Amino acid sequence: MDFREKTVLVTGASRGIGAAIAKAFAAEGAMVVVNYLRNADAAERVAEDCRALGGDGWAVQADVTDEGAVRAMVERVGEEVGPLDAVVNNAFRPYAFDPDKRTLFWDAAWADYQGQVDGALRGTFNVCQAVLPLMRRRARGSIVNMTTDLVARPTVPYHDYATAKSALVGFSRNLATELGPLGIRVNCVAPGLVYPTDASRTTKEGVKDMIIAQTPLRRIATPDDVTGPVLFLASDWSRFMTGQTLYVDGGLVMG
């Protein structure tokens, strides 16, 4: 895929899946805006890697749950870089995938759900609203929202996290319907467990073995496994796809 002379914004890109996605775009020639929340040094290292891979990288701080901060970030992108071709909404509220320490439903508070909704849905809402003028101006663009295969198959019932990601899928389908006539596509990528990341670092070996045993491809995804589907949905190769969810979990979910 050729992303030369194209600009891509990846939120939550200072580490893990977001960093892998940012570097994959750069390897195809893209100018990548590496959004981060707190770790400026890590984000700058990702931006440096993007430049070393043959693209370009620019680390920009913004809390995606803060509407004003997101609008300021996107305004900077418009002023200093220009058109925005694709957005990957990868940022999410920190979460530990540890079934032994997860909150059981009868111990959950609505605040647990609200925190995840704010991270998954509110952040994506803010970014989509902010980038829409840049994309409408050109009557084209691709938005890729990162969700999870737990929406379709709650292998471990992480109630608050999976419920928020379910809402993100519904949001994406409605957005795809409304923005399609404007030339803007909206799709989702739904990984299963991805290792290693900060979120999956505490996942027990027994849990990983259980997931591997149920996965047709008999392994767990790495961050690099997620990058291809994201780039595909952001590229013209998927130009007649919108409102879709691609499961990237080795066949654990089929549908």
143: tokens are 């938005």
Share above pLDDT 90 across residues of the chain, in percent, rounded to a whole number: 86
Question: Are 33 and 7 a contacting pair, CB within 8 Å?
Answer: yes
pTM assigned to the model: 0.96
Residues 44 and 63: their CA atoms lie apart, in Å, by: 16
Residues carrying an active site annotation: 161
Average pLDDT of the chain is: 95
Second CATH level (architecture) for the domain 7-248? 3-Layer(aba) Sandwich (3.40)
What is the predicted pLDDT for the residue at 95? 83
**3-state per-residue secondary structure call for 182-243:** HCEEEEEEEECCECCCCCCCCCCHHHHHHHHHHCCCCCCECHHHHHHHHHHHHCHHHCCCCC
3-class state of residue 173 by DSSP? helix
pLDDT at 202 over 80: no
What is the predicted pLDDT for the residue at 201? 78
More confident position, 195 or 176:
176
Task: Count CA within 13 A, CB hemisphere, residue 161.
Answer: 22
Tell which residue, 131, 120, 61, 63, has the closest CA to residue 90. Answer: 120
Residues 240 and 229: their CA atoms lie apart, in Å, by: 15
Question: Are 243 and 176 a contacting pair, CB within 8 Å?
Answer: yes
Q: Where are the domains of the chain?
A: 7-248
